[in-house]
Amino acid sequence: MSRTKKLRLRVYLGMLLAALIASLFFCTLYHYNNKYSQRTTQAINGLLILSEEDLSENPYRYLWNDWMYYPGVLLTPEDFSMGSPNRYMIYTDIDSSNRLSVSNQRKQARYGSGTYAMRIQLPDTEKSYAIDMPEVFSAYRMYINGRLVLSMGNPNPNAYRGATGKRLVTFVPDDDGTVDILIAVSNYTYFYSGITYPPAFGTPAALNYLRFFCQGLRLCGIILLLVMALVCLYFFRKLHLTNAGWFALLCLCMIGWMIYPLLHILKILPIFPTYWLEILFFYLTLFLLVFLYNRICGIPKWIAACSNGFAGGFCIGISLFYLLSPKLPDIAIEWASVFIAGDKLLLSGYLLISSFLMVRRRTDLHLLLYGSTFFACACIWDRIFPKYDPIFGGWFLEWVCIFLVCSVGISVWHFLTEGYRQGLLLEQQYRVTEKQLAMQTNYTQQLNEQVEIRRRFVHDFRHHLRTIHAMAEQTEDKAILQYLDSIEAYITPSSAASPTHSSRPAVDALLAYYETLTRTRQITLTLRFALPDKIPLSDVELCTILGNLLENAVEACERLPKPEERIISVKTSVTPLLWCMTVENTFDGVLQEQEQKHFRTRKSDAAYHGIGLSSVEHTVKQHGGTLDIYHMEKTFRAGVTIPSTK
């Protein structure tokens, strides 16, 4: 079997294994971490009877089954003083599809009022119990045994005020162990309405432990994301790695999405902009995931632009939809839910296909492929298991987004460590180069001093020869005259001195070296080089920029088979504010693109790939300059701009 076929088989098997693990994970969550699949005694026809054994085996349970529901009215305990009120009532389960105004089982409206009621019969013991109330949309009053124990916002339609929060209420049953729960709810602001998440009932110790564990688990995830964001921000500032900055922003958006359950416990919040911000952070997270996938996988620019535009446009559209949702009809809400589900499936398909195509030529992207597989499975199982509300942790998409963020983070970390390693290598090379250049500069200065001494000596000696020549002419000694003529011809320079391009000996020496090198390798080099009087670059930095750019240009030209095609041009321009230089060379049209906008050379030692351009960019940015790289079909151009000092 060929290496290519083995790689493809490995990719297929990896995807299959990831899909099986993801499916097993989500099925396990559904069956064992689901408020609706918890095996506890539930109410029947609005009555829940619990024994000592029930409470011992399950110290807490979620009340989702068979609530008595009175649509269209806000009832109080006085309405039940003479028994059940003479009102229309149905038995309903608590889930996210609930709506307040119910005309029949098929048609529901989200705006209006309603009252939920349940009676719990407990053992006749003097014990305290608690109810953990989730977010209820969007204002309610809660009565237990005729007493008002909790109020969130104002459900009165004439003075309506929406609010949201999570609260734990403790109470003691009546003497006979009876607990009558009455919750009057109104909603005129949100597209969810009424009680959509089941309340938890149990002992205060069990519910407090449950709260602590759930929110502690969420807090650990937020701290992990915050640490990753801070580390990436450090590397972004230190090494100027753009992907690190984008990943830090992704982590912060993920934190913004995940932190709201904690805020709901700490403080009562308004409906808007609380849930609008939560949704905005969620879709910003999805947008940044697509954006980083495109950058890491090296997706073609037009495909990346289309996918980024679609994800960003959907983020803006859904944000506007949530802002306008109070004024939209119910049919618009239903269609929006269809579009949202379709967007998630489309997004998962794009991530899966793009990472699958890229992993066949880049073996370091397997983790992104498996993350995409998890995301696709999450979207599918989320549609298969619609009645799911987690006890611990988050929803399917929260779990998979954390996995995706971690997989993207590992890929970004690979670039960070590689960039840091290159930075250390560059720093070491810089120190060695600085020492060598200092020694070379010192030697050049000594050599120039010796040349200047010789030039003065020759200049003075020629005057002495002319004096002796005049004296010999007076005595008409032809032998002496002939010998003097031969000496003068010997000491007369036969060729012009080497040209200088600047007032920097080290720079001139480097340019002279490449003039000689290009002649020996049959490369046409055009030099139009000048430096301003005041430029912030040292000799080491100038030689770093010139040396790396000219080395890459010579390396690229050597791959061209015909000498007449090998052309390098170095041009500079000087203005009162800027010094600009362009190094342009021909090449064979083959480029190896790496992270961000750089291109790797094709050196035999892979450890040095891309270091030259990184070194140039690092040096240029230290002085507030820019490095711009362009390429056409057969021409590569690097442009450097440095601000001049005043």
Instruction: Convert the pLDDT of each residue in 510-534 to its tens digit.
Output: 888 888 889 999 999 999 998 888 8
Higher-pLDDT residue of 273 and 465 is: 273
252-284 per-position pLDDT tens digit: 999 999 998 899 998 899 988 888 999 999 999
Residue 131 structure tokens = 């109810």
- How much is the pLDDT for 444? 64
Q: Are 547 and 440 in contact (CB under 8 A)?
A: no
Q: Summarize the confidence of residues 115-138 as an average pLDDT.
A: 92
Question: What does the pLDDT read at residue 547?
Answer: 87
At residue 570, the pLDDT reads 94
384: helix, strand or coil: helix
DSSP conformation class of 88 = -
Predicted confidence band at 597 (pLDDT cuts at 50, 70, 90)? very low
C-alpha to C-alpha distance for 137 and 159, rounded to whole angstroms? 16
Which single residue is written with the structure tokens 């019969």? 121
Topology given in CATH for the domain delimited by 499-646: Heat Shock Protein 90 (3.30.565)
pTM score of the predicted model: 0.69
pLDDT confidence tier of residue 77, bands split at 50, 70 and 90? very high
Q: Cβ distance 401 to 285 under 8 Å?
A: yes
pLDDT of residue 609: 47
- Does residue 386 carry a pLDDT above 60? yes
Question: Residue 13 — very low, low, confident or very high, per pLDDT cuts 50/70/90?
Answer: confident
Average pLDDT over residues 64-85: 91
pLDDT of residue 557: 93
- pLDDT above 80: residue 481: no
Closest CA to 369 of 15, 80, 17: 15
**Rounded to whole angstroms, how far apart are CA atoms 272 and 283?**
17
Which one-letter amino acid corresponds to residue 17? Answer: L
Cis? peptide before 273, omega within 30° of 0: yes
| Tokens found for residue 377 | 């499975």
Per-residue pLDDT at 496: 44
Q: What is the pLDDT of residue 107?
A: 54
According to DSSP, residue 197 is labeled S
- Mean pLDDT over 3-27 rounds to 84
| Confidence band, pLDDT 50/70/90 cuts, at residue 297 | confident
What pLDDT is recorded for position 191? 82
Whether 603 shows a pLDDT value over 80: the answer reads: no
Percent of the chain with pLDDT over 90: 38
Q: Is the pLDDT of residue 503 over 80?
A: no
With contact defined as beta carbons under 8 Å apart, do 97 and 72 qualify?
no
The predicted pLDDT at position 290 comes to: 92
| Mean pLDDT in residue range 486-490 | 68
Residue 50 reports pLDDT greater than 90:
yes
Mean pLDDT for 616-644 is 88
Per DSSP, the three-state class of 389 is coil
Per-residue model confidence (pLDDT) at position 393: 84
Highest mean pLDDT pick, 139-153, 261-275, 320-334: 139-153
- Place 367 in a pLDDT band, splitting at 50, 70 and 90: confident
Distance set, CA 112 to CA 140, 158, 176, 495 (Å): 12, 12, 35, 100
pLDDT exceeds 50 at position 104: no
Asked whether residue 437 carries a pLDDT value surpassing 80, the answer given is no
Give residue for tokens 């064992």: 32
Return the CATH number of 47-202, one of 3.20.20.330, 2.60.120.260, 3.40.630.10, 4.10.1240.10: 2.60.120.260
- Residue 498 is given by DSSP the state P
Q: What rounded mean pLDDT belongs to the chain?
A: 84
Q: Where are any strands of DSSP class E within 176-269?
A: 178-187, 200-202
Section 24-35 average pLDDT? 93
The Cα–Cα gap between 549 and 286 comes to 39
In sequence order, the 6+-apart residues with CB closer than 8 A to the CB of 489 are none
pLDDT of res. 252? 94
pLDDT reading at 224 higher than 60: yes
Among 48-62, 280-294, 467-481, 488-502, which is the least confidently predicted range?
488-502
- Please check the confidence at residue 433 and state whether its pLDDT lies above 80: no
Asked whether residue 321 carries a pLDDT value surpassing 70, the answer given is: yes
Statement: residue 308 has pLDDT above 50: yes
Determine contact, residues 73/95, Cβ cutoff 8 Å. Answer: no
Least confident of 77-91, 365-379, 467-481: 467-481
Give the pLDDT score at 23: 93
Angle at 595 between CA 316 and CA 405, to 5 degrees: 50
| Average pLDDT of span 340-348 | 88
Nearest Cα to Cα of residue 556 among 635, 633, 477, 455: 635
